Structure 1
Amino acid sequence: MSSSCAEPQTPIAPSASEQILQDVFGYQAFRLGQQEVIEAAAAGQDGLVIMPTGGGKSLCYQIPALMLDGLTLVISPLISLMKDQVDQLKANGVAAAYLNSTMTREAVMDTFEAMQSGQVTLVYVSPERALMFDFIERLKDTPLCLIAVDEAHCISQWGHDFRREYAELGVLKQHFPDVPILALTATADDTTRSDIVSRLALVEPHVYLGSFDRPNIRYTLQEKYKPMAQLTRYLAGVRGQCGIIYCNSRKRVEQITEKLCGEGIRAAAYHAGLDFSDRAYVQEGFQRDDIHIVVATVAFGMGINKPNVRFVVHYDIPRNIESYYQETGRAGRDGLPAEAVTFYDPSDLAWLRRCLDEKEEGEQKRVESHKLNAMGAFAEAQTCRRQVLLHYFGEHRELPCGNCDICIDPPKRFAALEVAQKALSCVYRVNQNFGMTYVVEVLRGMQNQRIREHGHDKLTTYGIGREHSNEFWISILRQLVHLGFLNQNIMRSSTLQLTEKARAILRSEISLELAVPRLDSAARTAKNDKLANRQYDKKLFAKLRKLRKAIADEDDLPPYVVFNDASLMEMAEKLPTSSGALLAVNGVGQRKLEKYGEAFLTLIEEHLMATVDY
């Protein structure tokens, strides 16, 4: 007999990893890719994880650490980053520790004892310490279950931040062949990824290549003409928000900081020339929201784990796309709207090229030159900046993003099939063996010894583009690279090579529009109003931030370790008035509910009562 009522569904019990995610870290669901990485690591498989900054890489080794019996060793490059991670783990009730040069001998020995007795689950160390003979010998007497190598791009000579100590970490596999190694980074192109796997001696690793896209970040570029006035005008529109301003020199950092402080902005300078204590003071003040804006060189780097940075300004163009991606990725780590603004003057790029010319010839200089050229191409792009950025990392998007200056204020476009055919044909006729500058010289019919020596003045494509300027053809070739019709091969001195997609252009099988080159025009930056339009109680949000700051100061913690802005915004949106409702807010786990729940629930209830009374 059939029944008119459906049988009640038995709820599916959460897996061990899901239970830890909810109970310990307070998140209701995994982000894309996290769970499969976690399960592979927990099963003892090596792994390579590429996830964007703010994409949740840390959970990929922290949750397996709580699933496995034994110690998880985390190799991290900066003392500040270690401390920040350990503070957050302890706030969630996880037994974690670090070992670094600031600790007394007694504290170090206590940590060693805790490692060997199983009193800590995760220990963070620098690559230098991980390679010490004495430390490796101690690890052999420790129940080691997982090794996580954070910022793994530092391993590769093709990466933007190559470090020799990182390159030697492959010896760990020799000493601990049965312990899985998980390598994690936000920035690694295909060449760098292969190098990481090879240098760490990973065995059939589980490779997760996540999207490099950070859709909440708006990428904008402004022509640099009166940069200090431009910066001041921009900051007036984001007053009270936290941000970072990157410069290429210490002198400029100090000049800008002095100017901003003179205008009553809570700003501070950070560069390698400052005393360690001064740098630590600035970093801690920024983490605790006592300082709103840090003006810095790249020395203000990977240790920035602050989720509520709303903007990153590049006063000067970075040296490579990886640095740009990492630095801009320090904005909007909480997933809320953020902005990355770059002031661009082609002369800044020329200055960086002169600096590079002074370096000793060799493989590293060649790599840096390729990466600088790619950064210049990004700055001068006439197509969606996000598409250019993603293409660099091997991720192709068909549609423009709608959230960059090129999309918001599109350049004029023209029917470009003929010019594209000329460019691609020229690349083909020179046997795909030359770089962009040379191809343009052939297209424009330049008369120089190199072209004559190769006999390229006899080609059918020689001089077929002489009616256009050098800048025009450079822009066209760059657009063809960005759209995936050409590749620049870093392994062969940035030579241009046709992709399979180029066939359709050469055979006139498709139409093509490109942007009219506008290398010297400044695009308008539309106001990022998504944050303002979100429906939440803004007065309650301000009260919750004030309460968070008071609790954080009392506990000697950065405010976001208590709760991040996204969690407070969700509280101001959902207005929880019970423990169960508060636990449903992302970022509220059991430990934080026990520790902070009563204070936040009381504040919400008082605010609701005051609203009703009013």
Structure 2
Amino acid sequence: MTNPSDILQQVFGFTSFRPPQDQIIETLVAGGDAMVLMPTGGGKSLCYQIPALVRPGCGIVISPLIALMQDQVNAMRLLGVKAAFLNSTLAADEAQEIEQQLRNGVLDLLYIAPERLTQARTLQMLREAELALFAIDEAHCVSQWGHDFRADYLQLSLLHELFPQVPRIALTATADTRTRNEIISRLQLEQAQQFLAGFDRPNIRYRIALKHNGKQQLQKFLKSEHPNDAGIVYCLSRKKTEDIAQWLNQQGFKAYPYHAGLSAELRARHQSEFLREEGVIIVATIAFGMGIDKPNVRFVAHLDLPKTIESYYQETGRAGRDGEPATAWMVYGLQDVIKLRQMMEGSEGSEEHKRAEQQRLNAMLGLCEITSCRRQALLDYFDEHLEQPCGNCDTCLDPPQTWDGTEAARKALSVAFRTEQRFGVNHLIEVLRGADSDKIFQFGHQYLPVYGIGKDLDNNQWRSVFRQLVARGYMSVDLERYGALRLEEKCRPLLRNEETIALRKDIKPKAAKQQTKVYLAPDVDIDLWEALRECRRGYAEELGVPPYVVFHDSTLQEMCLRLPQNMEEFGELSGVGERKLERYGPAFVSVITEHLAA
């Protein structure tokens, strides 16, 4: 087979490419380089898998995701593709056998970790083999500005120097203009054709709320909307992931922690449970998720504010890869901002790097506080523009109310100024509300003209005012003074009565309507759906692969709607290639015919 469309249909079981897959594949097949930015779930892997099958030789896939390589290779083998991987989990004799297979021209695809690729032994092996292409997955790992930076990726520029005739493709799901330029420069892809497939994930509903009691808010969200669904909960600290996972299990959910402090064996076991079982929740730090290919993750929840919009986009993008409705849910508070600032200040980066991180955190906070469409703001950050509000985010579905916060903002700025910009938000609120605390008397703040001038607002309302002033750049958090709030130049016109400010009203979230399983079409017979899932589960356990490697939920749903009753009809389903038709067709057709006869 040398025709990409034939391979798409016969191997992968799809009838047509999504744009711009066909153009990317055409570029690589012709021997050109490509830089590809495509959202999670957009079909990036086909962009190198198909050219590797069309071109003579083996496609080398460079991936940092050692824990997932086995699943990726198993999925390819089940499609009839000769695939293997080389990483540190293999014994020496196993690695030698795979190296020999590469030299002998037996392999179609070889997955390899970046740190292994740059070893002299590996490079010599590659020189002795016929190579179809190099695919550099998760290419944003080369960016020293990014949270996923991996030093080994910097060495990948040598591929251009050592193998100038072998086409290269760099792929990422998230990269702003600055990061894209860094990828191109560091990997020497200046001559590569760029393909930007767009960032919009219209099936994901974005929801961001103020944190009151994170645990209770999460429990309410899960029980009302996702009681039996697979999902990911992100937390800032390792300890918190373990606490939340334990607590979720006590509430009747099936949850596992995942962070870099756990043993490799335990991480692999928890990841395997998440991929292979239904309805499992992973509670994780950012150590989890890159490359996770589970299509039916129905929600991603953040219990803490991510550091950047890039992180937020990438992490929320792990939901709904099957194209069905999914939720990106987050709660945040001013304390999150202070924690993240402290982490940034304590990092080893240069002052320039810290400033860049601070700007990105400010942008993330800004996304939380906006009153307009969140999807428009998210896409604007990546230089992509949505003409109309999306109608599928919280600010579109339930527009926030605003109020004239000019007077309150001036009081907030004044109390920070009068207390010499040395105190945090709790003390400032006590001064405004005229509290009788030891700390106020210790510093003589009961004699200030601002003492007691804010009794018209309660503690939570004042917290909201200070949080929004920080988010909009009127104030900042001074970490050298343990979280004291400091005035910024931007506040001068407001203090001088030269401008007004509208603030967002914080409202406690209303109970969301039940949305569980809305991604099933109304005509789907639930009994047949469960019978097909059981058949799929049996094959998955027998083969030692996640259920979606056998068939995606979308293919099972199509079986329920089209009810194929022979092999020819079954072969017309999306996602059923020749190998899957031969391997699974009889059993699934039997389930359908038995159901119809019952």
Please indicate the TM-score interval, normalised by the length of the shorter structure: 0.7 to 0.9
| Matching residue's letter, 1:323 | S
Whether the aligned pair in 2 keeps the contact of 1:52 and 1:213 (CA below 8 Å) is yes
| Counterpart AA for 2:314 | Q
| Aligned position for 2:396 | 407
1:13-40 per-residue CA deviation (whole Å, 9 max, x = no partner) reads x991111111100112111211100100
* 2:123 is the counterpart of 1:136: yes
The equivalent position to 1:517 in structure 2, one of 493, 503, 520, is 503
Take 1:408 and 1:195, find their aligned partners in 2: how far apart are those partners? 38
Count matched residues.
524
1:92 aligns with 2:79: yes
Please give the alpha-carbon distance, in whole angstroms, between the structure 2 residues aligned to 1:106 and 1:66.
Answer: 27
Q: Deviations over 1:525-569 (max 9, x none)?
A: 555474255432222111111111111111211111111111111
Q: Distance in 1 between matches of 2:210 and 2:341?
A: 19
Report how far residue 271 of structure 1 moved: 1.4
SS in structure 2 of the partner of residue 356 of structure 1: helix
Residue 251 of structure 1: aligned partner: 239
Cα offset for 1:347? 1.3
CA distance in 1, matches of 2:77, 2:363: 41
> Is residue 50 from structure 1 mapped to residue 44 from structure 2 by the alignment?
no
- Aligned-pair distance for 1:221? 1.1
CA contact under 8 A between 1:380 and 1:475: conserved in structure 2? yes
Instruction: Tell me by how many angstroms 1:209 deviates.
Output: 0.3
Residue number in structure 2 paired with 1:589:
577
Match of 2:328, SS state, is strand
Say if 1:153 and 1:188, in contact at 8 Å, map to a contact too.
yes
Cα deviation code 1:147-203 (max 9, x no counterpart) = 000000111223332211112211111101111110000001111111111111124
User: Alignment identity in percent?
Assistant: 46
C-alpha contact 1:268 1:282 (8 A) present in aligned 2: yes
* Alpha-carbon distance in 2 for matches of 1:572, 1:72: 36
Distance in 2 of aligned mates of 1:473 and 1:369:
16
The residue number in structure 2 matching 1:369 is: 358
Give the superposition deviation at 1:520.
3.4
Code of the residue aligned with 1:379 in structure 2: it is C
Following superposition of structure 1 onto structure 2, how do residues 463-482 of structure 1 map, counting pairs within 5 Å? none
Give the direction of change, closer, same or farther, for the CA distance of 1:344–1:381 in structure 2 (3 Å limit). Answer: same
Deviation for aligned residue 1:515: 11
- 1:292 equivalent in structure 2: 280
* Aligned residue identity for 1:409: D
Unaligned runs of 5+ in 2: 407-411, 422-464, 475-488, 491-499
After superposition, residues 450-469 of structure 1 pair within 5 angstroms as none
| Residue 165, structure 1, aligned to residue 173, structure 2 | no
Q: Where do residues 540-555 of structure 1 align in structure 2 (5 Å cutoff)? A: 540-555=528-543
Matched position secondary structure for 1:222: strand
After the TM superposition, which residues 213-252 of structure 1 pair with which residues of structure 2 at under 5 Å, given as runs? 213-237=200-224, 238-252=226-240
- 1:193-212 aligned within 5 A: 193-212=180-199
CA offset at residue 372 of structure 1? 1.5
Alignment of 1:8-19 (within 5 A): 16-19=3-6
Task: State the distance in 1 between where 2:467 and 2:263 align.
Answer: 44
The question of whether the paired residues in 1 share the 8 Å contact of 2:402 and 2:505 is answered with no
1:367 partner letter:
A
2:274 & 2:551 partners in 1: Cα distance? 16
C-alpha separation between the residues in 1 aligned to 2:539 and 2:2? 33
Partner of 1:481: none
Shift of 1:516: 4.7
Does the CA-based 8 Å contact 1:157-1:364 persist in structure 2? no
3-state SS of the aligned residue for 1:49?
A: strand
Match of 1:320 among 308, 313, 335: 308
Q: 1:585 to 1:516 in 2, by over 3 A?
A: farther
Instruction: Quickly say closer, same or farther: Cα 1:528–1:396, change in 2 above 3 A.
Output: farther
Change (3 A) 1:573 1:62: same
**Contact 1:541-1:572 at 8 Å conserved across structures:** yes
What is the one-letter code of the residue matched to 2:54? Answer: M
CA distance in 2, matches of 1:545, 1:119: 35
Output the CA distance in 2 between the equivalents of 1:115 and 1:515: 65
**Do the aligned residues in 1 keep the contact of 2:520 with 2:557 (CA within 8 Å)?**
no
Partner of 1:535: 523
> Kindly tell me: are residues 526 and 395 of structure 1, through their superposed partners in 2, closer, same or farther at Cα, counting changes over 3 Å?
farther
What letter matches 1:607 in structure 2?
Answer: H
**Residue 383 (str. 1) matches residue 369 (str. 2):** no
Instruction: Provide the C-alpha distance between the structure 2 equivalents of 1:533 and 1:144, rounded to a whole number of angstroms.
Output: 44
Amino acid at match of 1:317: L
Contact 1:382 1:517 (8 Å CA) reproduced: no
Residue 459 of structure 2 corresponds to which residue in structure 1? none
Contact 1:145–1:179, Cα closer than 8 Å, also in 2: yes
> Which residue does the alignment assign to 2:7?
20
Mapped pair 1:398 → 2:390: no
- 2:297 aligns with 309
358-367 or 549-558, which deviates more: 358-367
Cα distance change on mapping 1:198 and 1:257 into 2, 3 Å: same
Q: Which runs of 5+ in 1 are unaligned?
A: 1-13, 420-439, 450-468, 479-494, 497-513
Pair 472,277 (structure 1): closer, same or farther in 2 beyond 3 Å: closer
2:493 paired residue number: none
**1:44 partner SS:** coil
Instruction: Return the offset for 1:351.
Output: 1.2
Q: Which amino acid aligns with 1:366?
A: R
* Distance in 1 between residues matched to 2:161 and 2:173, nearest whole Å: 26
Aligned equivalents of 1:288 and 1:142: distance in 2? 35
- Structure 1 contact 127–165 (Cα < 8 Å) conserved: yes
| Aligned partner of 2:169 among 166, 182, 192 | 182
